[in-house]
Amino acid sequence: MSRFFSSKYSNLEAYVPGEQPSDMDRYVKLNTNESPFPPSPKALRYAAEKTRVLNLYSDPQSQVLTQAIARTYDVEPDMVLATNGSDEALNFAFMAYTDKENPALFADITYGFYPVFAELNASPYETIPLREDFSLCVDDYIGKRGTVFIANPNAPTGVALPVSEIERLVKSDENRIVVIDEAYVDFGAQSCVSLTKKYKNLIVCQTFSKSRSFAGGRLGYAIASKEIIADLNTIKYSTNPYNINSMTSAMGIGILSDEAYTKENCNAIIENRKYTVDALKNMGFKVLPSCANFIFISSDKIDGTKLYTRLKEKGVLVRHFTKDRISNWCRVSIGSRKSMEIFITKVKEILAEAGSKEAI
């Protein structure tokens, strides 16, 4: 840190993204919940055609893209804000709706960026422990003052809440904002986008990074009442008016015109998840019920750090978190069938090594 860095950031601990090794080809990469599939070929062709005019700024309103998102989710275009990844939508929500009077409320085990956004915006926050089985109980939030952030499905657990529970929370106090982060919703959970037409205090954030194979393009969006979208636009125009570049915007439009491709890929991931979960359970692993493109696993036979380290040595990258409550767990992204077969083979080898060491 330089001596010039503002003291307002002296306690800020930056978010640590998963490893993106430069020698990527050496690894089976199951650590950042990316899609193993390329973006829609139809979208790539469309974007190549559309992005010849890069000497001009992109459309600050991202109108065509916004309309395409609105059509996809059957909402009005003024209920949509396109953002630079859903991280930007989440940060805008922290900027707009958290402060000393409205602290941020979120689970103790959830997306690691939430406390960073809170710190960055000098907003107090309270973490609310998940239950013993890592499930979230909305009653723990009802009656508390503050702006609620819930990842549904949650990360890194993969556990999802039904829409009826989210609705119960949203309507329990229509004077406070609830933000539902649906980054992983397309892999088997229920979306609450339709509730944004009924409740003025609900914001739903989604992304093109996971089910739509476009993490590198950085595209997300928020869906909410038009008044909330107007607030978020005020924040956007005060930070980065051209937040979506022309190439990404064209890709987004192309991707949304090829929903069959997205659906097919999601189904493949769900199938590969089942294959992986079954194989791990056969080896005695605990696997939380996942509605996401990753699973959260632990074993009595090997601790989480060791499993992560040995897998890395064997060329498979997964994610391990050092936080006490989950330090014995690893999060494994679901990739192609081939990647998951390699992962399972390596896990078997590691367990066999651990077993033979125990026997000595």
Render 241-279 in DSSP notation, one character per residue: TT-S-HHHHHHHHHHHTTHHHHHHHHHHHHHHHHHHHHH
Nearer CB in complex with ligand PMP: 111/261: 111
Tokens of 29: 């990469």
Of 73 and 111, nearer to ligand PMP (C-beta) is 111
The structure tokens 């033979």 sit at 356
Of 33 and 299, CB closest to ligand PMP:
33
Q: Which of the residues 32 through 51 are near ligand PMP (CB under 6 A)?
A: none
Site for ligand PMP in 216-245 (CB under 6 A): 220
**Scanning residues 109 to 128, which ones bind ligand PMP (CB under 6 A)?**
111
Q: Which two tokens stand for residue 95?
A: 């900027």
Work out whether 292 is an interface residue with ligand PMP (CB under 6 A): no
In the complex, minimum distance from the CB of residue 154 to ligand PMP, in angstroms, rounded to a whole number: 8
In terms of CB distance, is 85 or 346 closer to ligand PMP?
A: 85
**205 within 8 A of 231, measured Cβ to Cβ:** no
Report the nearest approach of ligand PMP to the CB of residue 322 (Å). 17
Binding range to ligand PMP, per CB under 6 A, among 84-92, 241-249, 282-290, 298-306: 84-92
Residue 87 touching ligand PMP (CB under 6 A): yes
Q: Which residue has the tokens 């459309």?
A: 59
Residue 158 binds to ligand PMP (criterion: CB under 6 A): no
Nearer to ligand PMP, 212 or 310 (CB): 212
Residue from 155, 179, 291, 332 binding ligand PMP (CB under 6 A)? 155
User: Which of 134, 161, 133, 112 lies closest to 291, judged by CA?
Assistant: 161
What is the three-class DSSP state of 237?
helix
**Is the CB of residue 145 less than 8 Å from the CB of residue 176?**
yes
Member of 209, 243, 249, 328 binding ligand PMP (CB under 6 A): 209
223, 196 contact by CB (below 8 A): yes
Cα separation, 255 vs 269, whole angstroms: 18
